[in-house]
Structure 1
């Protein structure tokens, strides 16, 4: 995978979009939340993965884009 592809993938992961089943699965696994709870949290803080992590009290690791 090229550096450009890695950057694009990281940028895409920075915003939570729950329109596709595989995306729902990814984010519910990533945060360890049921789908309904994840959707409520996104409705409250917005779709930015960084904001969701902050609301959950989880640190954003260096080099982690989402």
Structure 2
């Protein structure tokens, strides 16, 4: 039986996992940051996408 799509709570969308290569790679491609810099920002902000994107917008 398939999962009930009505019971999704979107917790995964608010965080980026530094331990998952695809999450880091997505940030690298989207913002043009190096992999090392992306990992630093993910760790600094505890994986918060919102804070990561805000800091990337402030710094080139």
Regarding TM over 0.5, the answer is yes
Return the TM-score normalized by structure 1.
0.57
Considering only CA atoms, is the larger Rg found in Structure 1 or Structure 2? 2
Q: Where in structure 1 are there 5+ consecutive unaligned residues?
A: 59-66
Return the TM-score normalized by structure 2.
0.61
Q: Where in structure 2 are there 5+ consecutive unaligned residues?
A: none
Once the two structures are superposed, residues 14-65 of structure 1 have per-residue CA deviations (whole angstroms, 9 ceiling, x without a partner) of 201022222222221122211100111223333100001111226xxxxxxx
Structure 1 runs, 4 residues or longer, greater than 4 Å off: 2-5
Ranked by relative contact order (alpha carbons within 8 Å, sequence separation 6 or more), the top structure is 1
